[in-house]
């Protein structure tokens, strides 16, 4: 087996606000007591974590730079089992504080897709590869 990704980590400005969004709005599970610069969500397979940006210069031995506004360097994709659920989930997440980028639409590559950002501008795609079920959950 080749190289596998073990963890994806976000370096965040406000860890409490970001954990709350991913936990309370997106529904990721986490056991984090609100203390410390590191938080890791419960995931099967690839781990998802957050680490406070303010800690990075000491860790890296140099000051990194960060994008401002919409972060177009990567995305996280949430794949729903049915395309009909994309519209409902997009509307729910936007109503709960996600910033809309584009509303649900059918893409030429065969998926229903929408995009929001989290509170720090990271792109999150909410989509489904199951175009055959427009009404399903």
* 136 in any annotated domain: no
Distance CA 49, CA 7 (A): 7
The answer to the question of residue 137 being in a domain is no
Main-chain dihedrals φ then ψ at residue 109, nearest 5 degrees: -90, 10
Instruction: Kindly state whether residues 75 and 56 are assigned to the same domain.
Output: no
Residues spanned by the domain of 26: 7-60
Residue 1 lies in a domain: no
H/E stretch holding 122: strand 122-128
52 shares a domain with 14: yes
Identify the domain boundary among 60, 84, 103: 60
CATH number of the domain to which 107 belongs? 3.10.180.10
Give the pLDDT confidence score for residue 43 in this predicted structure.
Answer: 86
Rounded to two decimals, what is the model's pTM? 0.90
> What's the pLDDT tens digit per position in 89-116?
999 999 999 999 999 999 999 999 999 9
């Amino acid at each position: 087996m080749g190289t596998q990704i073990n963890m994806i980590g976000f370096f965040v400005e406000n860890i409490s606000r970001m954990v709350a969004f991913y936990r309370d709005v997106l529904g990721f599970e986490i056991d984090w007591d609100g203390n410390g610069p590191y938080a890791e969500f419960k995931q099967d397979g690839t781990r998802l974590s957050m680490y406070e940006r303010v800690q990075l210069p000491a860790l890296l031995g140099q000051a990194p730079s960060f994008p401002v506004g919409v972060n177009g360097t990567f995305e996280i994709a949430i794949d729903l089992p049915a395309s009909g659920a994309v519209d409902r989930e997009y509307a729910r997440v936007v109503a709960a504080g996600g910033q809309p980028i584009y509303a649900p639409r059918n893409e030429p590559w065969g998926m229903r897709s929408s995009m929001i950002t989290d509170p720090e501008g990271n792109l999150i795609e909410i989509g489904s590869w199951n175009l055959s079920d427009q009404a399903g959950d």
